[in-house]
Structure 1
């Protein structure tokens, strides 16, 4: 019961109307629920974040954790040094219950491969929120040694696989952010209030990544 009631709350939290802004300050304000720098052919940047949104979130990066994180990171390392790519996947409840949507996990792995091939000098950051965290874990397990070496940092907000290693990525390069009282982080399936507030950790996440990418 808690799960379904809370899903409604999550939908309401992510459906607020957007205020038109210019392209120049869009990411700095954390206002977009879609990011496709890698697949749209934007010029390579020093850092590429590949992000998977949470269950029921809109767009390809959602609104709870992703956009605030991107905005904070753009401030820390410079917007001109940052590319962001969201993972296009269903982000539905069955995928969460399955341990992370398999198609989405494969798509995220493919984006890592594309980033490494398309922009060989970029430092890759894998990140996700809620079910998106499951995708990060699933993806990391499939990476080659060369792909793993290209991943400079991992940040997961509200991790359903909290306590598990992220593939063979060094733990010193991984930040798992879980709030007290978040049932998802306790391997449950109830979406409670603490699971919906990870935007407040954007600066912490950005600072962690900035140190690892050398900015």
Structure 2
């Protein structure tokens, strides 16, 4: 299950998601690997905080509902959550430890999905973030940082290209060219190997 980045081409998985899924398949020969791209807008409307918050919240709810559905209907299935850039925030918020909005955004609290039940962690094999916005970046735009809850924390791996200004702690701003490399720089394969060890 993968959430694409902001206006990333090739929806619903996006280029990074497509690369990631193929890498996972290459590391799990003989096993069935089904891909699910989270259908959310991956909006670039950062100036409209309410609209942007709603699109992210919709992606989080869709991700959580899919995990719940698979856990109930296919309890033996191992779920992998992944996301690139904004999609990594969606995947991270799906397994959050509690989202505390800044006081000035308290009116948006009703859009915050509750945490995914800890009991479902047995169905989630791994969580992978590519180019996830840093805590500084997220805080600068007025959102709570991604805090993965304890049952999922040990299953989570993050990838950040050195110098990628979205994930390296730089002040908020547009992405640089390094932020676009995750689908081609070998990190999706490294993540697939992490998953294969847990499958």
Judge same fold: TM > 0.5, yes or no. Answer: yes
2:128 aligns with: 155
Q: What is the deviation of 1:94? A: 2.9
4+ runs deviating over 6 angstroms: none
| TM-score (normalised: structure 1) | 0.69
2:21 aligns with: 70
Q: What is the deviation of 1:149? A: 2.4
Which consecutive residues of structure 1, in runs of 5 or more, have no partner in the other structure?
1-49
Correspondences of 1:86-101 after superposition (within 5 Å): 86-94=37-45, 98=52, 101=56
| TM-score (normalised: structure 2) | 0.74
SS at structure 2 position matched to 1:176: strand
1:136 aligns with one of 91, 97, 104: 91
Correspondences of 1:144-183 after superposition (within 5 Å): 144-161=117-134, 164-183=146-165
Q: What is the deviation of 1:95? A: 6.2
Count of aligned residue pairs for this structure pair: 163
2:196 aligns with: 210
Correspondences of 1:76-87 after superposition (within 5 Å): 76-78=27-29, 80-87=31-38
Q: What is the deviation of 1:168? A: 2.5
How far apart, in 2, do the equivalents of 1:168 and 1:157 lie? 20
2:2 aligns with: 51
1:198 aligns with: 182
How far apart, in 1, do the equivalents of 2:2 and 2:76 lie? 19
